[in-house]
Structure 1
Amino acid sequence: MHITPFLANARFRTSNFGAVICGAPWSGVIPVMEQAVLFAIREGRGYLEVEGHTPAWLDAGDVALIPRGAAHRLCSSPTVKGQSVMEIMRHRPVQTYTLRHGGKGAQTVFCAALSNWDDVGQATVARVLPELIVVRRAEFGARSQTESIVDLLEREARQAREISPLIANHLLNALLTEILFAKFGDAGVRRDLVKSFARPPIARALMLIHSSLATDWTVTELAKRVGMSRSAFTLEFTAVLGLSPGHYLIQQKLSRAAALLKATPHDLATVADLTGYDSVPSFIKAFKRRYGASPGRYRETGGALTSGLRRQG
């Protein structure tokens, strides 16, 4: 399966949605669900905690997708006491798609949805996606229609028309495509994913890696996440990609670092952090080993110094 059919199979059958206006302090706790959960921050920020993942702040323009409904909490601060979303929803006026919650502090506005995968999406897409995908505003790129889609979604929630659930589900499917393309649309990532689609555990491992290159992944943890022993996972991964998992991780982290050095003004500490290196010296050493130049020199030449580029394997 190529990447375009894969994206075409990523479809929600039905969705419950709404616009949520919160004033600090606020918090919403959702237990394990059978549906996908989606948050798109419109204004302010929220602190997202998903079971088994490092908590993260979501800022305006960021989108989070929890494909298989893992237990989670979205709140104004990690110190705020949690409150069940089911309890909060009881206070929503009937036949409306907006909800106000929390206190009188700093305001956060976001669109939220609980979506049911259709049968094809459940079988071919949902099963291989990581438990959490966070896409930052900058990751969508200048040509993305994400902002327009979320704007229409919020407008539909505020209008609360009879056809709003139908319109919202179409918009959420468009947003889902933008999310997946933003995370997995890079040509190199697409090439690797296409190789792996016949082997779902390897496809899922690749999506885990590329959905969060900043995570300090180990081969043992990746194998555990996809339900395989470390040895079996290593053998199958290497057979599919032609690289061991460890070498693949290094290659992808450094490729991402090189792209950041060319395209952003981030300092070396930020680049190291975004690519999963716990210190600048370790990052510089690994980068120079692969590219034959220090990160600073590489940036100065716009990536022209690649004479030392070596294949890891």
Structure 2
Amino acid sequence: MVDLVSDVLAVSGVRGAIGARIEAGGAWATRVEDDAHVSLHAVTDGRATLTVAGDRPRELAEGDVVLLPVGVPHVLSSAPGLRAGPLDRRAFTHTEAVTLGTPPVHTRIVTMHYTCDRRSRTQVLESLPDLIHIGPGQSTPGLAGTVRLIGHELAHPQLAASAVLNSLVDVTLIQLVRAWLPTRPAGQRVGWLNALDDPIVLRAVHHIHARPALPWTIASLAAAAKVSRATLCRRFAATIGLAPAAYLTQWRLDLAARRLRTTRDPVAAIAAAVGYGTVPAFSRAFTRSHGQTPAHYRSRFRGSTAVGLDATALR
């Protein structure tokens, strides 16, 4: 199950980075408005209150982790109802902590932010609910340990601290999804993540992800999943809202997009690896899906060193 989530996080180009580091004491409040990133806040010391419009204020304690989607303004504070000014956007790229309130410091919060390639149609981040709150009772040893390591690295920076932190930020997202998946209510089972709840669809998706270059048909995929073609099509439509053939095409083209972003492999090799017999057929399908040719898509990422999460490193 988690391997599939890792696959999709990698293919959708998810990238994470350390954001603001908040150190606060006394009465304090700050408003976070980020229209470009998914925000994750980890309380590494003390307590805080999270307020999101339309939701009750949530008390956060040491070890709590919350994830909010792109474009959801929210307030972090020492108590509900305090007047909050905007968090200085420079805090998201500055190496020093942002100090709020008055000494002494009682609360420390690390903010992480994540982006993804929105042209990828197979998404995890966009399938998540408006708020995920993992408290100490729901946390896993992996998530709690990763958050502690981040706090330690920030408090005691050593050689290659940036590389270590970047890796820990990526792992934090995986650990949070791992902790959340078994506890999510039925109302939050939406989009691609529905595949994880249906054993028939899950088997079929495993086969597609493991061998995308095979000449899959509805018949062969149904046989691999050990069900009839009608059952396979019905369950795909009910869970992820796509026909099996449509999901196969979507996954192949998202895989190809990732290789175009992150490798210098020839287009012909990429086309063959994702099940297309000719470059023209692949180019036509890719252009329909992504709105531009493979060559133009690749040129937009040329020179970029941010390649996103590596699925193999997350297993």
- Asked whether 1:109 is paired with 2:111, we answer no
Deviations 1:183-217 (A, max 9, x none): 11369989964257999xxxxxxxxxxxxxxxxxx
Q: Partner of 1:146 in structure 2?
A: 143
Which of these residues, 62, 65, 68, is aligned with residue 67 of structure 2?
A: 65
Residue 130 to residue 122, structure 1, CA distance change in 2 (3 Å): farther
Q: Determine helix, strand or coil for the equivalent of 1:112.
A: strand
- 8 Å contact kept, 2:143–2:172: yes
Q: Could you tell me whether the CA contact under 8 Å between 2:45 and 2:107 is conserved in 1?
A: yes
Aligned residue in 2 for 1:167: 164
Task: Identify the match of residue 173 of structure 2 among 168, 172, 176.
Answer: 176
The gaps in structure 1 that reach 5 residues or longer are: 200-235, 242-313
Shift of 1:136: 0.8
CA contact (8 A) 2:16 2:112 kept: no
* Cα distance between partner residues in 2 of 1:101 and 1:88: 15
Q: How does 1:111-126 map to 2 (within 5 A)?
A: 111-117=110-116, 123-126=122-125
2:99 corresponds to? 100
What is aligned with 1:133?
A: 132
Match of 1:28 in 2: 30
| Equivalent position amino acid for 2:82 in 1 | V
TM-score, normalised with respect to structure 1: 0.53
2-structure distance, mates of 1:52, 1:79 = 14
Following the alignment from structure 1 to structure 2, what is the Cα–Cα distance between the partners of residues 135 and 237?
30
- Aligned residues with identical type, % of pairs: 21
Q: Is the 8 A contact 1:39 1:63 kept in 2?
A: yes
Distance 1:9 1:68 in 2: 18
Give the Å deviation of 1:54: 2.5
8 Å contact kept, 1:40–1:64: yes
8 Å CA contact 2:195, 2:239 repeated in 1: no
How far apart, in 2, do the equivalents of 1:57 and 1:188 lie? 21
Which residues of 2 match residues 196-235 of structure 1 at below 5 A? none
Relative to 1, partners in 2 of residues 1:155 and 1:17: Cα closer, same or farther, differing over 3 Å? farther
Amino acid in structure 2 at the alignment position of 1:139? Q
Count of matched residue positions in the alignment of Structure 1 and Structure 2: 200
Residues 23, 105 of structure 2: 8 Å contact kept? no
Deviation at 1:69, TM superposition (A): 4.0
Q: Secondary structure at the match of 1:110?
A: strand
For 2:184 and 2:41, locate their aligned partners in 1 and report how far apart those are by CA, in whole Å: 27
Q: Distance in 2 between matches of 1:41 and 1:163?
A: 24
Amino acid at match of 1:137: P
CA contact (8 A) 1:38 1:64 kept: yes
Change (3 A) 1:13 1:44: same
Instruction: Say whether residues 1:40 and 2:37 are aligned partners.
Output: no
- Give the counterpart letter for 2:22 in structure 1: V
Contact 1:98 1:157 in 2 (8 A): no
| Matching residue of 2:152 | 155
SS at match of 1:137: coil
Equivalent residues of 1:47, 1:76 under 8 A apart: yes
Which moves more between the two structures, 119-128 or 175-184?
119-128
Q: Which amino acid aligns with 2:97?
A: T
Decide whether the 8 Å contact of 1:98 with 1:158 is kept in 2: no
Please, what TM-score do these two structures have when normalized by structure 2?
A: 0.53
Choose between structure 1 and 2 for higher RCO, CA contacts under 8 A separated by at least 6 residues. 2
For 2:169 and 2:95, the matched residues in 1 are separated by: 18
Q: Secondary structure at the match of 1:150?
A: helix
Distance in 2 separating the partners of 1:237 and 1:81: 48
Match for residue 214 of structure 2? Answer: none
Moved more, 161-170 or 65-74: 161-170
Please give the secondary structure, in 1, of the residue aligned with 2:149: helix
Amino acid aligned to 2:133: V
* Per-residue deviation, 1:85: 0.3
When residues 163 and 50 of structure 1 are mapped into structure 2, their CA distance, relative to the original with a 3 A threshold, is: farther
In structure 2, C-alpha distance between the alignment counterparts of 1:119 and 1:150, rounded to whole Å: 27
SS at 1:127 equivalent: helix
C-alpha root-mean-square deviation of aligned residues, in Å?
3.9
DSSP-derived class of the 1:140 partner: coil
Q: 1: distance between equivalents of 2:199 and 2:35?
A: 26
Asked if 2 retains the 8 angstrom alpha-carbon contact of 1:3 and 1:193, the reply is no
